[in-house]
Amino acid sequence: MAPRTAITCLGLLVLCGRAEALRNSHPIVGTGASADPSLKTVLSRVERYVEGYEALLSTLVARERYVQKVPAPPGQTGQIRTLVSDFLFFRLPGKDGPWLGFRDVLEVDGTALEHQGERLREIVASPERAEARAMAMTRESTRFNIGRFSRTVNVPVCVVGWMHPRMRDAFTFRQAGELDVDGVRAWRVAFTEKRGHAIVRTPEGLGVKSSGVILVNPATGEILQTEQQNTLGPLHVTIQVQFRPHQEFGILVPVRMIERYDDGTDRLETEAVYSEYRRFTATARIR
């Protein structure tokens, strides 16, 4: 068996694109009138949005259906793996407390696992130990992944966290056109990690440069879609996440994540769909 290529994301546990076009979106001809805000103004709105978004998203749980596919050459059989998990978005207490993402795998290819959400209750009840638990759960959940690519960057709000003011000096930005997204005139804002910064790293500590695009409502700073791209030697990684309004909670939540891993020899394609959002507390039982 060929060795596994590993890529991990340091920012992934501190909230921490162009896989395919957004459905119902198309380019707009012309980039707007002189009354359009400046890029600096839009980025400030994005930062304020992300700061408020953290409090609103924290302790929400979604049901994640995560389908992984390893295509096979003609005449051979590929691999498919389906995971059903509860995904908890959780921010540690404190002004600059880090964001943590917890994927608690409940089913593997239709076979139920034990524990059924008990660990998530323990995390909310004991936030002082949440970061260590997040690392442990990330390592555990990756053992169910298929394919030759070992990865922990598949967190739907990873790029959103990179837009926080505390990380503003890590990236450069430019406007890269506009799209109509479900009736919203969205800006395409491209970002590139600056030299010397490395949010994404290999397990050996090698930094992997990040770049991508966010689709933003320029009037509100709301993030409608994120796209992350990383390249490590021949390996190219693209992760796209779509956000849509949730009526009950009044915020945009991740609804779909698409991943592509390709090193010229092997490929991995995944799609995660998020539904059944609910607020979770230490006394609530996840069903």
pLDDT for 124-142, tens place per residue? 667 667 667 766 777 777 8
Question: Which of 7-16, 83-92, 142-151, 224-233 is the most confident on average?
Answer: 224-233
Q: How many residues are given for the chain?
A: 287
Structure tokens, 101: 């993402």
Among 88, 85, 84, 91, smallest CA distance to 60 is for 88
Domain 5-279 has CATH 2.50.20: yes
- Per residue in 154-180, pLDDT (tens digit) is 789 989 989 999 888 899 999 999 999
Query: What does the mean pLDDT of the chain come to?
Result: 81
Tokens 């990383």 belong to which residue?
230
Question: Which of 20-34, 146-160, 254-268 is the most confident on average?
Answer: 254-268
Strand, helix or coil at 166? helix
Structure tokens, 246: 């949730």
pLDDT mean over 249-263: 95
The whole-model pTM stands at 0.83
pLDDT at 206: 84
**What residues does each domain of the chain span?**
5-279
* 205 Cβ contact list (under 8 Å, min separation 6): none
Is the CB of residue 87 less than 8 Å from the CB of residue 119?
Answer: no
pLDDT at 173: 97
CA distance linking residue 286 with residue 259, whole number of Å: 27
In terms of phi and psi (left: phi > 0; alpha: psi -120 to 50; beta: otherwise), the region of 282 is alpha
Element (H, E) at 70: strand 60-70
pLDDT at 118: 67
pLDDT at 20: 32
pLDDT at 10: 41
* DSSP secondary structure, 23-34, as one string: TTEEEPSS---T
- Per residue in 46-82, pLDDT (tens digit) is 999 999 998 888 889 999 999 999 998 788 888 999 9
Question: Which of 43-47, 143-147, 151-155, 193-197 is the most confident on average?
Answer: 43-47
pLDDT at 74: 80
- Per residue in 259-274, pLDDT (tens digit) is 999 999 999 999 999 9
Least confident piece of the model among 37-51, 91-105, 240-254:
91-105
CA distance linking residue 104 with residue 122, whole number of Å: 12
pLDDT mean over 209-225: 96
Predicted confidence band of residue 115 (pLDDT cuts 50, 70, 90): low
pLDDT mean over 24-47: 70
